[in-house]
Amino acid sequence: MPSNPSNLQTPPTPQTQNHFAISFAPLSLEQAYQLADEAANGAVVLMSGTVRDNTDGKPVVFLEYQAYEPMALEIFRQIATHIRQQWPDINQIVIHHRIGRLQIGEISVLVAVGSPHRAEAFAACRYAIDTLKHNAPIWKKEHFSDGSGTWVSIGACEQNGEKSC
């Protein structure tokens, strides 16, 4: 019996979306994952940056983040544009960054990438976090247990080859 072309269903085309945020509110792993998830994906890679309790062995009590938000969001858009040029199958990109005072263990940044294939998702996620740290106008102040504090440009961490930022 011949098939009826009008009864054929084509799989839905994955929607490509970007989700960017800079927020004083705590970031959600679950929300970032859900935003990166898509039925066509075979992989969602999520990177979570957290506040650690020391820098080069010096005890940290909390961090303070500030950002030039309009420019930081533009950098996030540029990152997503480059990802889509380099890895065209990527369909979801999530970049969320906290600002304000963060305690030890809190999430400071989330990057999630959804893709049909894991290799592209891992590569794109790594590119996104590395480029964000290098290019976005986001600064952190480390507050140490001895009462001292130091402002650090996140981009300077990469330029100076420091792994502790």
Residue with tokens 């480029």: 131
10 has pLDDT over 50:
no
Structural domain contains residue 4: no
Cα angle for residues 88, 12, 80 (degrees, 5° grid): 25
Task: Supply the pLDDT for residue 131.
Answer: 97
Count of the separate structural domains present in the chain: 1
| Model pLDDT for residues 77-136, shown as the tens digit of each residue | 999 999 999 999 999 999 999 999 999 999 999 999 999 999 999 999 999 999 999 999
Establish if 164 belongs to a structural domain.
no
For residue 122, give the CATH number of its domain. Answer: 3.90.1170.40
| 41-88 tens-digit pLDDT | 999 999 999 999 999 999 999 999 999 999 999 999 999 999 999 999
Report CA dihedral (88, 43, 118, 113) to the nearest 10 degrees.
Answer: 50
Burial (CB count within 10 angstroms: exposed 0-12, middle 13-18, buried 19+), residue 72: buried
Whether the Cβ atoms of residue 40 and residue 116 lie closer than 8 Å to each other:
yes
Q: Greater confidence, 11 or 103? A: 103
Here the tokens at position 127 are 């590119």
Tell me if 5 is assigned to some domain.
no
In a domain, 10, yes or no: no
Q: Which residue range(s) make up the domain with 32?
A: 16-159
